[in-house]
Structure 1
Amino acid sequence: MFNALLRDHVCSPARRFTGAEEGNIAVTFAIALVPILGFVGAAVDYTRANAARSSMQAALDSTALMVSKDLSQGVITPSQVSTKAQSYFNALYTNNDAKSVSVSATYTANSSMGSNIQVNGSGAVTTDFLKVAGFPTINFNTSSTAAWGNVRMRVAMALDNTGSMADDGKMPAMQKAAKALVDQLSDLEKTKGDIYISIIPFAKDVNVDNSNNNQSWIDWTDWDAANGTSTCTSYNWWGGCQSSTWTPANHNKWTGCVTDRDQDYDTKNTAPTTSATRFPAEEYVSGSEKYCKSGNNPYLQPILPLSYDWSAIKQRISDMQPTGNTNQGIGMAWAWMSLTQSAPLNAPAKDSNYTYKDAIILLSDGLNTQNRWYSNASQIDARQKTLCDNAKAAGITVYTIQVNTGGDPTSAVLQYCASGSQNFYVVTTASQTASVFSSIGTSLSKLRVAK
């Protein structure tokens, strides 16, 4: 009896204790609170570290780009790369969480795909929560590479050589600016063939050099009809010539001018293989003056195909003289032909290991006045617009410059031909030509962050 009462007295409270639930939530929460706070704290610490790393990546990207540009343009030497990189990075990186930040820069010259600058950065963020778990810091690192030389450039300069370029110092200003652009672009050359430049002096016609008088891409039809001698083969009873034979002049008498091709080939870069696609020889004359005859003063300089002979390119620019009327379309057409891997100018084959940027710079100081068919600006402009559409559709980047020192209307056709409004420039004084060519050179040599 006593034993039963004792058992009931002890076991009943025990059963009530084991069945009680009122304190379990608090106990469970207390136990779970530690890992929950740990996860939240870890998220906060990692967010801070990720922000510091993202800021570093942006700073390294800009640093790599600016150091590469300085190096490629000769502003700094390879030995100054590390110092310059540190200077740029210090100005760009403003994250206050990062500690123990370090930056290093490595320059690799003339690798198989060009030159590059690699900038590496590392740092650490002191943790607020993870340190209780034994992680007092979160380390991070990242890098950025700026590359150049794997994009090769071919640039055709179609330069107005018309008579009005003699006014207001326009011709010497253009020559100085164009030669400076040659220097600016040639400085980007790491190996021969990285940069090619062609020179296309134009007026109403272009001069393809009379040494090409035996080339199959010339159409002699009009020239033969206009240049030669007539020989009488029979006479009538009073001594007058009744019939005659026309003998075209020897083609070595041709002075080098060609005019626009037959339509619509005047708006294309089709290889000259048929009568319609060949380039018509012409004697471009004014009175007794033959504009394309080498030795005349003034005379239209011959085209210089793509080359990396920088001295020869600058000499051709120096030799240009103002003469003749304005036909921007023929300058544009031959600039495109100079970038084309076919006759008559036979641009060099492109290496499949490289990406290429082809560009045309078209400069003119006036409105169109004359081509093969028209002496009306609007009709000439219409042909030129179609030509520019075709060139841009083929991937050519077009820059246009209007040298407008005489208060002419803004050239609608030059605006139209440019690859975007940012590629059209108006020069109102000859002295502005240099800065425009420099801007174009900067655009052409713009570097990109590779990775």
Structure 2
Amino acid sequence: MWCFRSLFGRFFSDQRGNFAIMFALAALPIMVAAGAAVDISRAYAVENRLKAALDAAALAVGGATNQTNQQLQVIAQNYFDANYPADKLGVPGTVTVSQNGNVVSLSVKADMPTTLMGLAGIKTLDIAATSQVTRMGKKIEVILVLDNTGSMDTGGRMTVLKEAAKDLITTVSAAALNPGDVRIGIVPFTTDVNVGSTNKNESWLKWTWSHPSFCTTTGSGKNKKTECVEERTVAKNSWSGCVTDRDENYDVAVSNPTANNSTKYPANDDNQYNGNCNFPAIVPLSTDWQMQKSRIDAMTSGGGTNTTIGFVWGWQMLTNGATLSNAAPADPKELEKVMVYLTDGDNTYYRGGMGNQTNAACNGSANCPRVDQRSQLVCDGMRAAGIQVYTIRLVQGNATLLRNCATEPSMYYSVNSANELKDVFASIAQSLSNLRISK
């Protein structure tokens, strides 16, 4: 008897076989927990994909004005479908859109089939994403400063530029919530800027002025002497409308001319004295989108690159009260002032000297390497005035100068092919469409 009880006692007290039972009992929750970790990780991936696609749809919807909610729904769904990855982990539902003043809200849900969580009866996970875009209340003034030099005739550059610039006008103008919220102007430039021959009687012009090519050099060595005199005069009645740089230091400023002759704009003849005026005149800020596009279509290629004069007249067109400008007074809280500057050439021309070369026009003077310095002074002035500057370098140009002139590093673009311009201008246009993802 004692042996029988001892045998049963040892059996019930022995725990060696319990591990198999315990493992079997614990295996299910362990597998479910492991499956949950996998499924939750997949859920995060789906949520991020939903959010990214929904943000793209929000920007598209936010840029569409004067649309019904049903029309916005179609736009949002199309953009969402185009941006949601083809290898869908989840099955998204329909995007919903609602408007409340300047705020547009979007939401979408997706069902994601689970893996091991199904063992616990959880067959799908419901994943939701929301996005909200605020149409900013700020108004915007944009000046397109576009290179019309001879090199723009190479490789179809001018043709692509025209299309890209017109597309920007279409995109940015559509962001206006109210008439006048967006105004755009154009400054074509070469060695000169065309201010329009109809201004020939304006007191801010001067018709006689000096230029390095008007200088004479006598002697040699220590006795070498260079003299420049104001002895060349442009004929007013045959003037095509172009002006060149003002006298230093007015050449890098937007102050208005006075009775002082040095403050006035030197009229330049077509194809004389390094002039080339076979391109359109400046277009002040306007909401006449068709007129602006027609003026862009009229752009032609010719002449050399004067980076400074393009910058300074773009700045001038954004400055309230400046010559020929109809810009509104600066108001950082209510108004954004923006310049989009494109060039495809080195800064080779300046009234005080030709590029960084030492040639006859420079007469060996210290002016030659100063052209980029003059341009940088204009950029410094625009930065101090709060103007947002985008710069685009096409093929060639002083990369350091253009990068430094851009307000932010991300606002400088350098491309090696004209075909890239449309994407660059589209990117800038989206930035200028006065939208931001708010949530």
User: Matched residues in 2 for 1:254 and 1:421: separation?
Assistant: 40
C-alpha change, 1:396 and 1:349, in structure 2 (3 Å) is closer
C-alpha change, 1:439 and 1:180, in structure 2 (3 Å) is same
Structure 2 unaligned segments of length 5 or more: list them: 1-47, 85-94, 109-129, 214-230, 357-368
Contact 1:64 1:118 in 2 (8 A): no
**Residue 256 of structure 1: which of 229, 236, 241 is its match?**
241
C-alpha change, 1:341 and 1:117, in structure 2 (3 Å) is same
- What is the letter of the counterpart of residue 322 of structure 1? S
Q: After the TM superposition, which residues 221-260 of structure 1 pair with which residues of structure 2 at under 5 Å, given as runs?
A: 221-222=208-209, 251-260=236-245
Contact 1:427 1:433 in 2 (8 A): yes
Asked if 1:385 is matched to 2:370, the reply is no
Contact 1:71 1:78 in 2 (8 A): no
C-alpha change, 1:383 and 1:172, in structure 2 (3 Å) is same
Deviation of 1:422 after TM superposition, in Å, equals 1.2
User: Matched residues in 1 for 2:332 and 2:190: separation?
Assistant: 38
**Residue 196 of structure 2: which of 209, 216, 237 is its match?**
209
- What is the letter of the counterpart of residue 347 of structure 1? N
Larger mean Cα displacement after TM superposition, 163-172 or 251-260 = 251-260
Match of 1:126 in 2: none
SS at match of 1:326: coil
Deviation of 1:348 after TM superposition, in Å, equals 3.8
User: Matched residues in 2 for 1:360 and 1:164: separation?
Assistant: 22
C-alpha change, 1:192 and 1:264, in structure 2 (3 Å) is same
- What is the letter of the counterpart of residue 107 of structure 1? Q
Match of 1:314 in 2: 293
Contact 2:347 2:372 in 1 (8 A): yes
User: Matched residues in 2 for 1:150 and 1:177: separation?
Assistant: 26
- What is the letter of the counterpart of residue 413 of structure 1? L
Contact 2:145 2:342 in 1 (8 A): yes
C-alpha change, 1:353 and 1:428, in structure 2 (3 Å) is closer
Contact 2:243 2:265 in 1 (8 A): yes
Match of 2:385 in 1: 394
SS at match of 2:263: coil
**Residue 328 of structure 1: which of 307, 311, 314 is its match?**
307
User: Matched residues in 1 for 2:64 and 2:416: separation?
Assistant: 31
Query: Which structure has the bigger radius of gyration?
Result: 1
Asked if 1:366 is matched to 2:345, the reply is yes
SS at match of 1:285: coil
Deviation of 1:66 after TM superposition, in Å, equals 5.0
SS at match of 1:107: strand
User: Matched residues in 2 for 1:353 and 1:409: separation?
Assistant: 31
Deviation of 1:305 after TM superposition, in Å, equals 0.9
Match of 2:98 in 1: 106
* Cα deviation 1:124-173 (Å, max 9, x = unaligned): xxxxxxxxxxxxxxxxxxx9863215111111111111111111111111
Asked if 1:440 is matched to 2:428, the reply is yes
Match of 2:170 in 1: 183
User: Matched residues in 1 for 2:297 and 2:324: separation?
Assistant: 21
C-alpha change, 1:273 and 1:148, in structure 2 (3 Å) is farther
C-alpha change, 1:286 and 1:218, in structure 2 (3 Å) is closer
Contact 1:60 1:120 in 2 (8 A): no
- What is the letter of the counterpart of residue 397 of structure 1? Q
User: Matched residues in 1 for 2:150 and 2:232: separation?
Assistant: 34
State the number of aligned residues. 333
Contact 1:72 1:187 in 2 (8 A): no
Match of 2:142 in 1: 155
Match of 1:169 in 2: 156
TM-score by length of 2: 0.65
User: Matched residues in 1 for 2:378 and 2:330: separation?
Assistant: 27
Structure 1 unaligned segments of length 5 or more: list them: 1-57, 92-102, 122-142, 227-245, 293-298
Contact 2:275 2:303 in 1 (8 A): no
Q: Identity of paired residues, percent?
A: 34
